[in-house]
Amino acid sequence: MSLTRRDFTRKSAITGAGVALAGSVGALATAPNALASYDTETEGDAAADARHSAGYGPLLPDPNGILALPAGFSYRVVTHSGKTRLESGEFTPSNHDGTATFAGPRGATLLVNNHELKGPRANWEYPVPLTDGLVYDPAASGGCTVVEVRHGHVAEWVGIAGTSTNCAGGSTPWGTWLTCEETEDKAGQNGMTKDHGYVFEVDPADRRANRDPKPIKAFGRYAHEAVVIDPRRGHAYLTEDASGPNGLLYRWTPPAGFEHGRGRLRTLADDAGTLQAFKCFDSGGQFVDDLSRATKTGTVYGVDWIDVPDRDAKTVPVRKQFTTGRITRARKLEGMWWGDGGVYVVSSFAREESPVRHDGQVWFYDPKRRTLTLKVLLGVNPDPEKDGAFDGPDNITVSPYGGLVIAEDGEGVQHLFGATDSGRTYPIARNELNIGTAEEPEYSEFTGVTFSPDGRTLYANIQTPGIMLAITGPWKRQKRG
């Protein structure tokens, strides 16, 4: 059932209906699932002061030049491209990206790790090895590896190969990983022999289930970023990281009678279910063309879903199949994570390609209310080379200690940072691995932020050259206010 503009306007006007249209940091503590940061007018000294009152204290320089952490925290290198090796003897592939953890046998933790490698294999020193039976397109360089961590021992093997630009993805309620191709390359483009831009399922616990990879074409073909599954309703939500025009947020509704489970997605017909793009409107019923229009945390939009005409984008990319006024767009729709009964969605930044500039938004979609609420808003960082401010949120996870943990993919200094339930943002780690020069330092983005099943270890990746890190320390529940 669609939430109409009339319904949304009426509910917004009713006192106590639980729909906050906009608000300041102080007011938002009472809004449902409020996770406010600072609006574009208040970012600055006030935000910096607030960060010091939350989190784990200042970050301490790392003598090994990899990861700065608060006092009492430590890290371990789990995999390192070009240094650690797979069970089959090849080096760990490079360009680590989206990651999720799963409980494995005999106390093990299993991780599925994307490798964001685009184009021909010859372009990369450490592509994902073409393991027999696990290859979709032998010309493609990307894929996933599965990493097993058990009592200090690490093993790694290929989960899927021959895919392209495996960026983020998402875990499923039934214990598998959905890896997303952030590309629109078709057969004959960039050396590819098959069409790309799909989602594939990888089972970390059953190697046989990954044989003969099959794309989930029902989810559409476009520059996929992340995906989550609603464990109650069965919907899949998917982000698109694309521009010219900006990308979309999608919802896939399963066909009548379909039941999710291990291996079930690959049985779907290419046109199974319904793929739709979101369309937002404000409390007055006015259409919202781009999410960057929201300049205050607490802004709430109603959401309609509009059918995608050609999900396989045979002649026209999906995001270009809609005329002006039909759907809502957003720049760099990135990471997603299911939590608190809904979907947290990141828009990493907005520049001249968007109506309003910002350096990061985190939204929360409530499928029951059919509303989208702005939880975190980062104003444009005036000096990205200076440590202290955050910009460019990307991969995201819901923390077992409250709030969110976010991987930064911005300009200059790169962090893992947290956002509490009341809107405090605070640093957790800083990348100190300089892949540039002393005169012009460069620091790779963080990716794949995710907690272990027991909540004791935070895993995260430095994308370039490709390092998976396990962070432990005195985690604590973050307080409101």
Q: For residue range 295-345, what is the model confidence (pLDDT) as tens digits? A: 999 999 999 999 999 999 999 999 999 999 999 999 999 999 999 999 999
User: Can you tell me which residue has the tokens 């781009």?
Assistant: 290
Structural domain including 167 reads: 5-472
Question: Is pLDDT of 382 > 60?
Answer: yes
Q: What is the pLDDT of residue 403?
A: 94
Domain assignment present for residue 196? The answer is yes
Domain assignment present for residue 479? The answer is no
**373: β partners:** 300, 364
Cα 57 from chain centroid (whole Å): 26
Instruction: Return the H-helix or E-strand segment holding 5.
Output: helix 5-13
Distances (CA, A) of 384 to 62, 75, 387, 393, 410: 21, 25, 7, 13, 8
Domain assignment present for residue 246? The answer is yes
Q: What's 172's domain CATH number?
A: 2.120.10.30
Domain assignment present for residue 481? The answer is no
Q: What is the pLDDT of residue 48?
A: 47
Q: What's the rounded mean pLDDT across residues 83-108?
A: 97
Quickly state the pLDDT bin for 478 (edges 50, 70, 90).
Answer: confident
Rounded CA gap, 274 and 111, in Å?
30
Provide the mean pLDDT of the chain.
Answer: 90
Its pTM surpasses 0.75: yes
Count of structural domains within the chain = 1
> Which of 40-54, 122-136, 137-151 is least confident?
40-54
> Which of 21-25, 93-97, 144-148, 339-343 is least confident?
21-25
- Using alpha carbons only, what angle is made at residue 433 by residues 427 and 439, rounded to the nearest 5 degrees? 110
Contact 167, 225 (CB under 8 A): yes
The 3-state DSSP class for residue 88 equals coil
Question: Is pLDDT of 277 > 80?
Answer: yes
Q: What is the pLDDT of residue 385?
A: 85
Q: How far is the first Cα of the chain from the last one, in angstroms, to the nearest whole number?
A: 37
And the tokens for 195?
A: 């069409």
Contact 253, 276 (CB under 8 A): yes
Q: What is the pLDDT of residue 480?
A: 63
Contact 294, 377 (CB under 8 A): yes
Domain assignment present for residue 480? The answer is no
Q: Which of 258, 343, 238, 280 is nearest to 2 (CA)?
A: 280
Rounded CA gap, 355 and 345, in Å?
19
Residues 6+ apart with CB under 8 A from 61: 68, 432
Quickly state the pLDDT bin for 423 (edges 50, 70, 90).
Answer: low
User: Can you tell me which residue has the tokens 């800083």?
Assistant: 430
Q: What is the pLDDT of residue 11?
A: 52
Higher-pLDDT residue of 12 and 329 is 329
Domain assignment present for residue 40? The answer is yes
Rounded CA gap, 418 and 403, in Å?
7
Question: Is pLDDT of 349 > 70?
Answer: yes
Query: Model confidence over 238-259: pLDDT tens digits?
Result: 999 999 999 999 999 999 999 9
Number of Cβ atoms within 10 Å of the Cβ of 164: 29
Domain assignment present for residue 478? The answer is no
Quickly state the pLDDT bin for 268 (edges 50, 70, 90).
Answer: very high
Peptide bond into 204 cis (omega under 30): no
Q: Which amino acid is at 402?
A: G
Query: Model confidence over 109-142: pLDDT tens digits?
Result: 999 999 999 999 999 999 999 999 999 999 999 9
Residues of the chain above pLDDT 70, percent: 88
Domain assignment present for residue 237? The answer is yes
